[in-house]
């Protein structure tokens, strides 16, 4: 259990970094979600709160709150997935996980578009893209861990934090406002 508190402590450090740079909302929702996922082991609540983290990322990456309107159509496939697989994993968890996956893809797309449009100063854009790619690898490992058999699940479980911790640190550091003066 001590390892879980160390992992969660790392997420709190990332939150403190974002508070210092005055952009805490995605990291705040991440810290709350991880509390439920890592400490309390309540997956349904943790995954649901993680949705808000990715919605905050989408707004941060685009600078537009109207991006949240893209989430409305996510309800139908999430409900359909919950009807199909809810009996195996729990209706709420499947609905939340499917909705989460779509919100994650939205925030990833927003990050990529913003990167290629050079919306963020260097090196923030690189930190964001690298952090989001590591986040993708982490979530792939979570999916494998939750659905695969013993050996693949064990390997995936051991890789989750290898990708997740650096992703959160990079995303936290990307909140710093870089200019040419403070890069040199």
Residue 184 lies in a domain: no
| CA count, 13 A, side-chain hemisphere, 57 | 29
**166 within some domain:** yes
Q: State pTM to two decimals.
A: 0.87
> Is 129 part of any domain?
yes
Single out the residue of 42, 50, 4 nearest to residue 25, CA to CA.
50
Rounded to a whole number of angstroms, the CA Rg of the chain reads 17
In a domain, 105, yes or no: yes
Compute φ and ψ for 63, nearest 5 degrees.
75, 10
Q: 102 lies in which domain range?
A: 2-179
Q: State the CATH number of the domain containing residue 63.
A: 1.20.1070
| Dist. CA 102–CA 105, nearest whole Å | 5
Is 69 domain-assigned?
Answer: yes
Q: How far apart are CA 2 and CA 50, in angstroms?
A: 23
The tally of domains found in the chain comes to 1
**Positive/negative CA dihedral, 110, 173, 166, 5:** negative
Q: Confirm whether 94 is domain-assigned.
A: yes
| Domain assignment of residue 46, yes or no | yes
Q: What is the pLDDT along the chain (184 residues), one digit of tens a residue?
A: 688 899 999 999 999 999 999 999 999 999 999 999 999 999 899 999 999 999 999 999 998 888 888 888 888 888 888 889 888 888 898 999 999 999 999 999 999 999 999 988 889 999 999 999 999 999 999 989 988 888 999 999 999 999 999 999 999 999 987 654 544 4
């Amino acid at each position: 259990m001590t390892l879980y508190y160390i992992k969660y402590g790392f997420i709190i450090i990332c939150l403190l970094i974002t508070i210092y740079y005055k952009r805490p909302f995605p990291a705040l929702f991440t810290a709350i979600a991880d509390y439920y996922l890592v400490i309390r082991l309540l997956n349904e609540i943790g995954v649901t709160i993680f949705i808000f983290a990715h919605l905050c990322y989408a707004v941060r990456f685009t600078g537009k709150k109207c991006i949240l309107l893209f989430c409305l159509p996510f309800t139908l496939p999430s409900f359909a997935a919950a009807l199909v697989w809810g009996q195996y994993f729990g209706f709420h968890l499947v609905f939340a996980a499917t909705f989460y996956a779509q919100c994650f893809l939205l925030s990833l797309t927003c990050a990529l578009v913003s990167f290629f449009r050079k919306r963020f100063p260097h090196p923030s854009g690189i930190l964001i893209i690298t952090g989001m790619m590591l986040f993708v690898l982490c979530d792939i490992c979570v999916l494998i861990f939750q659905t695969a058999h013993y050996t693949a699940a064990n390997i995936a479980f051991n890789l989750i934090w290898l990708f997740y911790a650096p992703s959160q640190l990079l995303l936290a550091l990307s909140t710093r406002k870089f200019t040419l003066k403070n890069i040199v």
